[in-house]
Amino acid sequence: MARQPHIVLFPLLAQGHIIAFLALAKLIARRYSGRFTVTIVSTPLNVRSLRQSLPPESGVLLREIPFRSADHGLPPDTENTDSVTGEGLEKLLGASASLRPQFERLIAEEITREDGRPPLCIIADVFFGWTVQIAEKLGVFHAVFTTCGAFGTAMYFSMWLHRPHRHTTAEEFWVPGFPEGFRFRRSQLPRSLTSLEDGSFGIAFMTEHITLSMSSKAMLCNTVEGLEPVAMALLRKIAGLRVWSVGAVVPLETTNSSGRRAGRMAGVDPETCLRWLDAHPPRSVLYVSFGSQNSVSAPQMMALAAGLEATRRPFIWVVRPPLGFDIKGEFKDEWLPEGFEDRTGRSGRGLLVRNWAPQLEILSHPSVGGFLSHCGWNSVLESLSRGVPLIGWPMAAEQFYNSNMLEELGVCAELGRGVEQRVSSVEVERVVGLVLGGEKGEDMRRKAASAAKTMRAASEEGEEKGSSIAALDNFLATVLGTTPPDDNRYSPSDTQ
């Protein structure tokens, strides 16, 4: 007997992407309980991690497809970008193409046999562009879910497709698809974009997946229409797709305090962390984290530590080995100024957390006044939804564009960029002081609080539906063919 229509979600093998897909899957399963079967597909280790933190009542099913990293010249059990850097990252991204036949078999044979019909819809990561071809072949509705924001995705797509910086030597240049007067600064480009040669793996990978994703039927974006109205219009234009803004799919309320998130166990007990925060005045603490897979260089780590100590403001810092060392390896004291952890710990001013922190719990605590972040989109949404302004230090991907956009919004001050820049302890002290104290900091906090309000309103599920919930309802009705879609296409008047 046929089950209810099946929605299959397929995130990239990256922690930040898995977290966002999981949140979207949970939202669909909860809001339309009993109306859809919702399944996340991933490789065995990622599925095992997800299983550990997914309560049975979530209504989300998990399916694994085989993957053996050793077959691709990677260390055994490498199934997530959080355990590789540099060349390893390229290898893992390249190896992810080997999932194609297994994914097709799962959809065309296993799920179709069990359900008595193919799935209703595949919601896939931008970097699994080939899923569009599988969906077309099987007559399944395909949508891309971008786990980034609208501005970040629009810039990322246009930059990779056109690489406009190569056509000029000017410091400021126009980006195709953006309004005539828009200029982006060369110094704000990620190294991944500027350092790659024509014909390199990185350029081939990006252009292939972005181009394929643009041939999908629809795009879901993890943002809020009211937060990025112009960027949403630009994304619709650049991607050439109907785009529904269904975010923020990050938990707006914090209920989980086990310290485990999408399978990752925190390096500190959340209770200890919260007690530590309780001992500090409201909005006085800086939280420092570079996401699930990035770290700064060894000299930058020293300067950051010295700057943090000099501010004499309390901080929680998620530390992992600096760039060039095994990112999953043990953290060594020698990477910090002598006696740093002891001194800052004893004075109650600093709490170092190894590898993974209960980020949502920390950001939700009233003592937190700022977040020094790599501007990964989940972190941005988690921070803004709690009214916490950011200090930007983008490291990779679209994080440079996010930091730029957040500065424009007035909720972020950029401190550093990438792993090559020399960041001085004096500059750390200055920017931290700016955001945690003074008028500028107050203004940023006010703007972050207003962003939080916009985000909460968008996720309102009552009679007066918020924009993101209405968008999700409309997207699913469109997939089912029960309603004409809202006009989610680009219209020139939207960017004027």
- Interacting residue with ligand UDP among 293, 300, 402, 478 (CB under 6 A): 293
Are the CB atoms for 19 and 261 separated by under 8 Å?
yes
Instruction: Report if residue 6 touches ligand UDP, rule: CB under 6 A.
Output: no
244 binds ligand UDP (CB under 6 A): no
Smallest gap, in angstroms, from Cβ of residue 172 to ligand UDP?
27
314 and 349 Cβ atoms separated by less than 8 Å = yes
What does the H/E/C string look like for 335-384?
HCCCCHHHHHHHCCCEEEEECCCCHHHHHHCCCEEEEEECCCHHHHHHHH
Residue type (1 letter), 231: A
Cβ of residue 349: shortest distance to ligand UDP, in angstroms? 20
- In angstroms, what is the minimal distance from the CB of 418 to ligand UDP? 14
The smaller minimum CB distance to ligand UDP, of residues 9 and 121, is found at 9
Indicate if 125 belongs to the active site: yes
Tokens representing 234?
């630009």
The reply to whether 365 belongs to the active site is no
Considering the rule CB under 6 A, would residue 261 count as an interface residue with ligand UDP? yes
What residues have CB less than 8 Å from 219, skipping those under 6 apart?
143, 144, 145, 146, 213, 235, 239, 241, 242, 243, 244
Instruction: For the CB of residue 82, give the shortest distance to ligand UDP in the complex, in Å.
Output: 7
The answer to whether residue 357 forms part of the interface with ligand UDP (CB under 6 A) is yes
Q: Which stretch binds ligand UDP (CB under 6 A): 15-23, 219-227, 276-284, 447-455?
A: 15-23
Q: Please, which of residues 102-141 interact with ligand UDP by CB under 6 A?
A: none
- Choose which of 291, 314, 321, 466 interacts with ligand UDP (CB under 6 A): 291
Grouping H, G, I as helix, E, B as strand and the rest as coil, residue 207 is: helix
By CB under 6 A, is residue 80 in contact with ligand UDP? no
Those residues with Cβ within 8 angstroms of residue 195's Cβ, 6 or more apart along the chain or in another chain = none
Answer yes or no whether residue 289 interacts with ligand UDP by CB under 6 A. Answer: yes
- Quick check: 142 binds ligand UDP (CB under 6 A)? no
Query: Can you say whether residue 77 is alpha, beta or left, with left for phi > 0 and alpha for psi between -120 and 50 degrees?
Result: left
Nearer of residues 135 and 455 to ligand UDP, judged by Cβ: 455
**E strand or H helix that includes residue 220:** strand 218-221
* Spatial CA neighbour of 13 closest among 111, 104, 84: 84
Residue 376 lies near ligand UDP (rule: CB under 6 A): yes
SS3 call for 467: helix
Q: Which position among 15, 46, 245, 488 is part of the footprint of ligand UDP (CB under 6 A)?
A: 15
Classify the phi-psi angles of 116: left when phi > 0, otherwise alpha if psi is within -120 to 50, otherwise beta. Answer: left
429 part of the interface to ligand UDP, by CB under 6 A? no
| Closest CB 360 distance from ligand UDP, rounded Å | 6
User: Using a CB cutoff of 8 Å and minimum separation of 24, what contacts does 323-329 make?
Assistant: 323/85, 323/295, 323/296, 323/297, 323/298, 323/419, 324/297, 324/298, 327/82, 327/83, 327/84, 327/85, 327/293, 327/295, 328/83, 328/355
- Nearest distance, CB of residue 89 and ligand UDP, angstroms: 12
Residue 403 makes contact with ligand UDP by CB under 6 A: no
Q: Which residues pair with 40 in a beta bridge?
A: 9, 62
User: What gap in Å lies between CA 75 and CA 96, rounded to an integer?
Assistant: 15
Integer CA distances (angstroms), 260 to 14, 267, 269, 440, in order: 17, 10, 10, 35
Check binding of 361 to ligand UDP (CB under 6 A): no
Kindly tell me which residue out of 292, 300, 367, 404 binds ligand UDP, with binding defined by CB under 6 A.
292
Residue 143 or 319: the one with the smaller Cβ distance to ligand UDP is: 319
Q: Could you tell me the smallest distance in angstroms from the CB atom of residue 270 to ligand UDP? A: 11
Which CB sits closer to ligand UDP, 184 or 287?
287
By CB under 6 A, how many residues form the interface with ligand UDP?
19
DSSP state of 158: H
Q: Does 320 bind ligand UDP (CB under 6 A)?
A: no
Q: How far is the CB of 203 from ligand UDP (least distance, A)?
A: 21
Between residues 119 and 267, which has the closer beta carbon with respect to ligand UDP?
267
**Residue among 228, 246, 242 nearest 469 (CA):** 246
CA–CA distance, 84 with 91 (Å, rounded to integer): 9
Residues 6, 17, 165, 209: which is the catalytic one?
Answer: 17
Q: With binding defined as CB under 6 A, does residue 382 bind ligand UDP? A: yes
In the bound complex, which residue of the shown chain has the CB atom lying closest to ligand UDP? 16
Please tell me whether residue 16 binds ligand UDP under the rule CB under 6 A. Answer: yes
Active-site hit among 72, 77, 82, 125? 125
Return the ∠ at Cα 382 (arms to 23 and 59), rounded to 5°. Answer: 15
- 146 beta partners: 221
377 touching ligand UDP, by CB under 6 A: yes
Active site residues: 17, 125
Q: Point out which residues bind ligand UDP (CB under 6 A).
A: 15-16, 19, 261, 289, 291-294, 318, 356-357, 359-360, 376-379, 382
